[in-house]
Structure 1
Amino acid sequence: MAIIVNKEEKRRAIALASKSLLLEHGIKNITISKIAECAGVGKGTIYEYFRNKEDIVFEIISVFIAEHEKWLHALIREDISTKEKIKRFLSQLYSDADYEKQLSIYREFLAISLTSNVDEMRDFSRACRERFQIILDQIVDEAILMGEIKAESKEMFGMLHTYSLGLVVESKVNEIDAKVHIDQFVETLFTIIEKKDIR
């Protein structure tokens, strides 16, 4: 009797097995052979599930994003102020060594995306942005409903993703302490948008 393999589950399993390889060596320094070895499959098997190395990288980054989204959904439910939620939303990637490694991979992914003009990479980045914006909108909508922030400030939160992308680059290039920068930015933002009767 033939064994039925769920293709999506197998793709995910290969990506999960290769996650540490990517974090250790970066996108440019991994090969299909190394991925196959790390995942415990033959090189030919990799090509049954992925078109190329970039396809595997997308899948691994998707795993990181899914983990991060899970954390963000938990953040929405926390009993803390909206200001604190926004600070945590922006600063999670700078919170520990594991996230710093993921951030390094994300920087490399951005650099490749910007220089390669590959539509797939841009589409992937756009889709990720939309997923995070949905979570951010939930936080903001609840804050408006609860009367914590001014309703007209909602448009400003669409710019937070642009700010966070800029900080990903600036924190590396100019060695900015991202957590300090985020605290200052959010404190300033909330002096403008917070309803004054909220303490």
Structure 2
Amino acid sequence: MARIIDKEEKRCDIARASIELFCDKGIQQTSMDEIAKSAGVAKGTVYLYFKNKEEIIFAIWDMIAQRHHEAFGKRITEHMRAKEKLLDFFNFSECEEEGNKEQVLKLYQHFISAMLIDKTGLYSAYFESFFQEDFDFISGCLHEGVAKGEFLIDDVDLLTTSIMLLLKGLLVRAKASNMGFYEAQTLLIKHVTFLLNQCTRSLP
């Protein structure tokens, strides 16, 4: 009897097998032939699941995002204040648990580099759609905090955008300053905390 292949699982396997290549060589320098070899499949098989290298990169980030949201969902409780939720949202400890924290940071930096030289607009479009969910969550938490009297904010959208720009910019700085995962996350939380403290009200 022929073995039934789970297409989504196979797709994820190929994407995972590409991560180390992208981290070591960069996105532009990694070929589909190398990806196929790393995944242990024929090049034609890779094209059965992905039209191009960009789709593989996007699939990797989709998996990383899903894992983060699942881990975050297990940590939060209905009794947590909005500020606590927001700060915990920037806790990427699941990367440490899986031993790939430095890979995730390096992969993100390669993604940014590829986006800056991309002329197709694919990276920029995905980048913005990727962060839209984060924007919506942060905005929702800030609105929740305002409604409960925890925050006093004149412009929630502006503060949300500021936090998003901080996130994107700090990770670029991490590349320029050769920061490791811990240093980058600590600095991110420090600055997000500072922004939130400016609009946090004292509650009993």
Question: Structure 1-normalised TM-score?
Answer: 0.79
2:131 aligned partner:
129
CA contact (8 A) 1:75 1:85 kept: no
1:108 paired residue among 91, 107, 110: 110
Show CA shifts across 1:13-65 (max 9, x none): 32234344444544244322222223222111112222222222222222122
Distance 2:30 2:189 in 1: 36
CA 1:123–1:179 in 2, change beyond 3 Å: closer, same or farther? closer
The one-letter code sitting in structure 2 at the alignment partner of 1:112 is: A
2:151 corresponds to 1:149: yes
2:70 aligned partner:
70
Q: How far off is 1:169 after superposition?
A: 1.1
2:39 corresponds to 1:36: no
2:166 paired residue among 159, 163, 167: 163
The count of corresponding residues between Structure 1 and Structure 2 is 198
Name the SS of the counterpart of 1:159 in structure 2. Answer: helix
RMSD of Structure 2 on Structure 1 (CA):
3.1
Q: How far off is 1:93 after superposition?
A: 7.6
CA contact (8 A) 1:93 1:103 kept: no
Distance 1:74 1:17 in 2: 27
2:10 aligned partner:
10
Question: Structure 2-normalised TM-score?
Answer: 0.78
Name the SS of the counterpart of 1:147 in structure 2. Answer: coil
Distance 1:37 1:180 in 2: 37
CA 1:58–1:182 in 2, change beyond 3 Å: closer, same or farther? closer
Higher helix share: 1
Distance 1:39 1:123 in 2: 27
Distance 2:142 2:40 in 1: 44
Q: Provide structure 1 residue ranges, at least 5 long, that are not aligned to the other structure.
A: none
Distance 2:57 2:198 in 1: 40
